[in-house]
Amino acid sequence: MKKRLLALALAGAMVFSLAACSSGGNDAPATDDQGGTSETAEVANKDKPLVWFNRQPSNSSTGELDMSALQFNDNTYYVGFDANQGAELQGTMILDYVKANIDTIDRNGDGIIGYVLAIGDIGHNDSIARTRGVRAALGTAVEKDGAIISDPVGSNADGSATAVQDGNLEVNGKTYIVRELASQEMKNSAGATWDAATAGNAIGTWASSFGDQIDIVASNNDGMGMSMFNAWSKSNKVPTFGYDANADAVAAIAEGYGGTISQHADVQAYLTLRVLRNALDGVDIDTGIGTEDDAGNVLTDDVYYYDEAARSYYALNVAVTADNYTEFTDSTKVYGPVGNQLDASAHPEKSVWLNIYNAADNFLSATYQPLLQNYDDLLNLKVEYIGGDGQTEANITNRLSNPSAYDAFAINMVKTDNAASYTALLNQ
């Protein structure tokens, strides 16, 4: 409660400072060579609203937040989701499935429940959290310096790997061993991480070395999970678990996909654009978020929270399984409580430059971007969407050659360490 009051007070102070430097909107719109229009041409690029999303500025080896990027200016925020809460849910979802299906789960009947794990990006905090969540729930986690090791083990047929251990699981009076048979970062030769095609190949290799020792397939996301499901687990009836609640994965639950986690992309996509809208309007940052706006949009704290110290909004996750998947079939539908159109005279059109780090990423391209495209209309934002190649920051930054043409920026980095590649362009 105290935190929220402080947040409101700070937000109030920020409104004041933004209002002081905004032009008021009476001037003729400035046009530029990229065809964008801007009514706030006098605002320096370094003072324009900026939101980081999906990849939180942070050190990719230690996870430490990059506070200089998160506090780039008074109108800078991060929007993501609670990685630890989601990771714990994913682990629990898998464990619950194992317990409920204990009579059939051990395919070769050797008393060992074997699983393989597809890791997205060893330097991405979401990926790290999910690997830890699965290992923690299944009893295979090993700690080092107070944290669960999240490294891939490669192959662990005999259980001798040191990054994981064999877990023990007692169900109905019988004790089973749980073993991480194999895990690998799914990075392709060009350097793209969370790579679905790589996962589709890996499951082939794993299946030929482990065969019916594999009882469960776990994945850091649905893109990789579905690739493995389609290549192998569906026909071999091996439950496969992912993350993101992409529409194809939710639909596959009817065909034996074990389950997924919704990271409430519908709430995140809204927040991504909403914080920019509020900053551009010069209103309290909580408008249409914790406080109902003039169109009736408001979020409740069961779907998100704000961490003022980290300048970060986090959506909360929900497990999607055979019990409830029919409520999640349309992953690109706007979230009802924030689906109201803003009035264009009170909230005039503004232009936003936004990039997706990898145009081939299933979650971002099939779920997140379509949601953003639904909300941009509702919020009267004209958004230019730039799709990166998932490999180099330059592929994206090259297309931000004229930041003066935009009123605000939304950035999805290739690597969480690279915020400065973007802020350097805004500082020029």
CB of 214 to Ca ion, least distance (A): 8
* DSSP states of 208-250: HHHGGGEEEEEESSHHHHHHHIIIIITTTT--EE-SS--HHHH
Sign of CA dihedral 299, 260, 52, 146: positive
In the bound complex, what is the minimum distance in angstroms from residue 221's beta carbon to ligand BGC?
Answer: 3
Q: Does position 223 bind ligand BGC by CB under 6 A?
A: yes
Residue bearing tokens 């790579």: 195
Q: Is 353 in the site for ligand BGC (CB under 6 A)?
A: no
Q: Please report whether residue 194 would count as binding ligand BGC according to CB under 6 A.
A: yes
Q: Is 243 in the site for ligand BGC (CB under 6 A)?
A: yes
Q: Which does 135 bind (CB under 5 to 8 A by kind): Ca ion, ligand BGC, none?
A: none
Contacts to Ca ion from residues 88-147, by CB under 5 A: 106, 108, 110, 112
Q: Is 244 in the site for ligand BGC (CB under 6 A)?
A: yes
126 binds ligand BGC (CB under 6 A): yes
Does residue 314 belong to the site contacting ligand BGC (CB under 6 A)? no
Distance CA 332, CA 119 (A): 25
**Binds ligand BGC (CB under 6 A): choice among 55, 277, 347, 350:** 55
Q: Are 224 and 195 in contact (CB under 8 A)?
A: yes
Site for ligand BGC in 148-187 (CB under 6 A): none
> Judged by CB under 6 A, which stretch of 5-13, 103-111, 150-158, 356-364 contacts ligand BGC?
356-364
Burial of 151 (0-12, 13-18, 19+ CB in 10 A): middle
Q: What is the C-alpha separation between 21 and 402, in angstroms, rounded?
A: 20
72 touches, from Ca ion, ligand BGC, none (C-beta below 5 to 8 Å by class):
none
Q: Does 78 bind ligand BGC (CB under 6 A)?
A: no
Instruction: From 35, 39, 9, 13, select the one nearest 24 (Cα to Cα).
Output: 39
User: Which structure tokens are listed for 362?
Assistant: 């299933």
Binding site residues, ligand BGC, CB under 6 A: 54-55, 120, 126, 194, 221, 223, 243-244, 361, 363-364
